[in-house]
Amino acid sequence: MEQEALTGVIEPKTVAVIGASATPGKIGYSVVQNLVNDGFKGTIYPINPGVDEILGLKAYPSIADVPTNVDAAIITIPAKAVLSVIDDCGKKGVKGIIVITSGFSETGNRELEQELVSKAHANGIRVLGPNIIGVLSNSASFNGSFAPFLPYSGKGALISQSGALLIALDAATYTRRVGFEKLISIGNMADIDFADLIEWLDKDPNTSCISLYIEGFKNGRSFMEVAQKTSKPIVALKAGVSEHGAAAAASHTGSLAGAAKVYGAAFQQSGVIQASDLNNLFDRTLALSLQPPLKGDNLLIITNGGGVGVLATDAAEKYGIPLKFAPKDVQAELKKHMPEFGSAKNPVDLTGQAGYDWYYESLRYAIGHEWVDGVVVLYCETAVTNPLEIAQGLKKAIDEAGAKDKPVTVSFVGGEKSDEGIRWLVENGIPAYTAPDLAVNAMAALREYARSRELISSAPDAEFEVDEKLAREIIKNAREDGRDSLTEIEAKEVFRAYGLPTTTTKLARTADEAVELAKKIGFPVVMKIVSPDILHKSDAGGVKVNIKDEQAAREAYQTILDNAKAYKADANIHGVAVQEMAPWGTEVILGSVNDPTFGPTMMFGLGGIFVEVLKDVTFRVAPVSQNQAKNMLGEIRGAPILRGVRGEAPRDQKALAETISRYSKMILDLRDEISESDANPVLVYEEGKGIKVVDARIILKKK
């Protein structure tokens, strides 16, 4: 049903333009003109109460007057009039309305937008927009927009939250020779959103790659769910990377989580490839729409120039596919297609003498060899070669090798003749670029796609045993106490209920109790103030470490209380926590925020100076599998510290990954209660020796 409703909007057979105009220059005129000029094969009904004919088509005063049912209505009347035409659309069986009109939520008119959606839904109608330029579909010859022409034809589909940008990119598809089957303007997303369109495009036989220009989602999780299930590559450019929400954060993690990082994490987890800018969005779309994924890391570079070879080698490392030398048999065979002074290592340098034959022979052999997963071909224009001929040789080699599951990307550096070669390659299904870095970046997109799919399809973790009931009990007690944050002791109890190893921590209300607890736990101990009014305990002089005997414990108890009272005279003091002094290990920080778009989100980073100064942290939307958690450990700049540097033993990354995964389950299960949290520091010991949460903070949602 959903699919059919969207088909009505994206590939309608009958279209009414409500607000069609006979006056050139008006949007209602452009839309009718575009439908006609771009050869729409279905029926067009211009709707206008004051005109009989528009561009040779009979016009009707109202959609209620048209003689047949209608699939889609394109709306180009002012905002205040839009609601008045919806019931008539319903009577004509309209499946979806394409609301070009502006003046809804983007200008603060939220109520009008809500009413529009409610009324449309009551009539069984889906809403695209409002505030959009429309929909363009090449295969349906449907230009239901005020963009002047259908895009350069190809297999991409671009959904854009910016209408103006989409018009500009429509024109750029021709100059860039990046082909699109569909361009869809999504505007305010009052009803139809990215997830709906991606689901539809996944089943569209004419689309092989889905490209997105995103300003912000309304519901990040539904996007992630759909993206994960999609069988086609999705490439996204996210605009707006300001640190929204960070200023008001109460926890460490809250102040580090910015929109860009959380979106980046969500993309990674749902198999969405990111683009760094508009050019990169097109470059990556070209590769992902034309080539299969790069399934392994054995990338071969074939070149006629050492310079571009080195640039490509640098790019390969930069984009995460470091080059390896090809096996001996591959090298021996390739040696046959180059002069004595060529190189068969990787990059394979055919030298400046290389013409059609050497390119053709070496690519045909390489792409057919089992060791090779993919090939980047580089060419520098020379006086003795013809770029178009080289391009044709490459295509012939690929076709004859029959290795359809291995990607090839190409870079031609040169002038007009090289551009001609590039155009020919793209028209023949081979992504070709003007610089080696671009060809390698495109290959990296194909590798990223393969990798993210491997991770998504890897077996899910076994369920952890946790005690959610106990965790909720502790939170309930704190709420009954009128608090919206947990004490360290309570936070650690919640962590323990989810199987996170924490230091033993007990509450002492008198100096005698403190001494007794310290004896039970075993000296040396750490003592800390427990007060819901003092979140930054060290600042208040509320922490004493390395307390070695009874006398010191007694004194520490008193000093901590005195300091706390001096810091905040009216603080509600629960007592002093006596805590096991864990042996020192590598300090890391774990934490969570409740992101406005994606909900519970995990953070991991190295602690101490790494988090304070370098902000060397990484994020994932909860839940985080242990495999994903392992990837997080490798992502931060300080990753080598966990792997063991300068003769130090590697840290217990397995225990750390499990802890991250358990933590993520905790924040997901308790998302109605927990707003932000930190485990900081967490000490990580040598491999096999586990981890320990030393300090914990949980801030509850305000209720």
Task: Please report, as ranges, the residues that interact with ligand COA according to CB under 6 A.
Answer: 18-19, 21-23, 26-28, 47-51, 76-78, 81, 85, 100-103, 131-133, 163-164
Q: At its nearest, how many Å lie between ligand COA and the CB of residue 37? A: 19
Residue given tokens 């969207």 in the structure block = 6
Alpha carbon 415 to its chain centroid, in Å, reads 36
Secondary structure in 3-state letters for 103-115: CCHHHCCHHHHHH
The DSSP string of 516-569 is: HHHHHH-SSEEEEEE-TT-S-TGGGT-EEEEE-SHHHHHHHHHHHHHHHHHH-T
> Given the complex with ligand COA, which of 21 and 392 has the nearer CB atom?
21
Q: At its nearest, how many Å lie between ligand COA and the CB of residue 48? A: 5
Phi, psi for 46 (deg, rounded to 5): -70, 135
Q: Write out the two tokens for 575.
A: 């007592």
Alpha carbon 573 to its chain centroid, in Å, reads 44
Q: At its nearest, how many Å lie between ligand COA and the CB of residue 300? A: 45
> Given the complex with ligand COA, which of 163 and 607 has the nearer CB atom?
163
Residue given tokens 């596919």 in the structure block = 321
SS3 call for 216? coil
Give the amino acid at 417. K
Q: At its nearest, how many Å lie between ligand COA and the CB of residue 256? A: 34
Contacts of 555 by beta carbon, 8 Å cutoff, 6+ apart: none
Whether the link from the prior residue into 130 is cis, omega within 30° of 0, is: yes
Q: 238 forms bridges with which residues in the sheet?
A: 214
Q: At its nearest, how many Å lie between ligand COA and the CB of residue 167? A: 8
Q: What is the rounded distance in angstroms from the CA atom of residue 499 to the CA atom of residue 49?
A: 69
Q: What is the rounded distance in angstroms from the CA atom of residue 689 to the CA atom of residue 369?
A: 45
Give the amino acid at 171. A
CB atoms within 10 A of CB 101: 22
Q: At its nearest, how many Å lie between ligand COA and the CB of residue 98? A: 11
Contact 227, 211 (CB under 8 A): no
> Given the complex with ligand COA, which of 23 and 175 has the nearer CB atom?
23
> Given the complex with ligand COA, which of 89 and 515 has the nearer CB atom?
89
> Given the complex with ligand COA, which of 47 and 257 has the nearer CB atom?
47
SS3 call for 448? helix
Q: At its nearest, how many Å lie between ligand COA and the CB of residue 148? A: 14
Q: At its nearest, how many Å lie between ligand COA and the CB of residue 144? A: 13
> Given the complex with ligand COA, which of 20 and 257 has the nearer CB atom?
20
SS3 call for 394? helix
Give the amino acid at 618. T
> Given the complex with ligand COA, which of 239 and 260 has the nearer CB atom?
239
Residue given tokens 């590697």 in the structure block = 650
Q: At its nearest, how many Å lie between ligand COA and the CB of residue 166? A: 8
Q: Write out the two tokens for 354.
A: 């290389």
Q: What is the rounded distance in angstroms from the CA atom of residue 520 to the CA atom of residue 628?
A: 39
> Given the complex with ligand COA, which of 22 and 250 has the nearer CB atom?
22
Q: At its nearest, how many Å lie between ligand COA and the CB of residue 59? A: 9
* Helix, strand, coil % in the chain, rounded to nearest 5: 40, 20, 40
> Given the complex with ligand COA, which of 26 and 396 has the nearer CB atom?
26
Q: At its nearest, how many Å lie between ligand COA and the CB of residue 113? A: 13
**Based on the number of CB atoms within 10 Å of its own CB, is 482 exposed (0-12), middle (13-18) or buried (19 or more)?**
exposed
Q: At its nearest, how many Å lie between ligand COA and the CB of residue 22? A: 6
> Given the complex with ligand COA, which of 128 and 526 has the nearer CB atom?
128
Q: At its nearest, how many Å lie between ligand COA and the CB of residue 250? A: 38
Q: Sign of torsion, CA 439 440 445 449? A: positive
> Given the complex with ligand COA, which of 81 and 649 has the nearer CB atom?
81
> Given the complex with ligand COA, which of 90 and 103 has the nearer CB atom?
103
Q: What is the rounded distance in angstroms from the CA atom of residue 582 to the CA atom of residue 574?
A: 23
Residue of minimal CB distance from ligand COA?
Answer: 163
End-to-end CA distance of the chain: 39
Q: At its nearest, how many Å lie between ligand COA and the CB of residue 84? A: 6
Alpha carbon 551 to its chain centroid, in Å, reads 56
> Given the complex with ligand COA, which of 117 and 133 has the nearer CB atom?
133
Phi, psi for 17 (deg, rounded to 5): -110, 105
> Given the complex with ligand COA, which of 28 and 96 has the nearer CB atom?
28
Q: Write out the two tokens for 316.
A: 């390969």
Q: What per-residue string of b and e applies to 287-321 under the rule 16 or more CB within 10 Å gives b?
A: bbbbbbbbbeebbbbbbbbeebbebbbebbeebeb
Q: At its nearest, how many Å lie between ligand COA and the CB of residue 62? A: 6
For residue 134, which of 3, 15, 282 has the smallest C-alpha distance? 15
- In the sheet that 432-433 helps form, which strands lie side by side, from edge to edge? 348-349, 299-303, 374-380, 408-413, 432-433
Q: What is the rounded distance in angstroms from the CA atom of residue 142 to the CA atom of residue 17?
A: 13
Q: At its nearest, how many Å lie between ligand COA and the CB of residue 468? A: 46
Q: What is the rounded distance in angstroms from the CA atom of residue 63 to the CA atom of residue 48?
A: 9
Q: What is the rounded distance in angstroms from the CA atom of residue 130 to the CA atom of residue 127?
A: 8
> Given the complex with ligand COA, which of 85 and 682 has the nearer CB atom?
85
> Given the complex with ligand COA, which of 49 and 583 has the nearer CB atom?
49
Q: At its nearest, how many Å lie between ligand COA and the CB of residue 53? A: 12
Phi, psi for 294 (deg, rounded to 5): -90, 110
> Given the complex with ligand COA, which of 28 and 575 has the nearer CB atom?
28
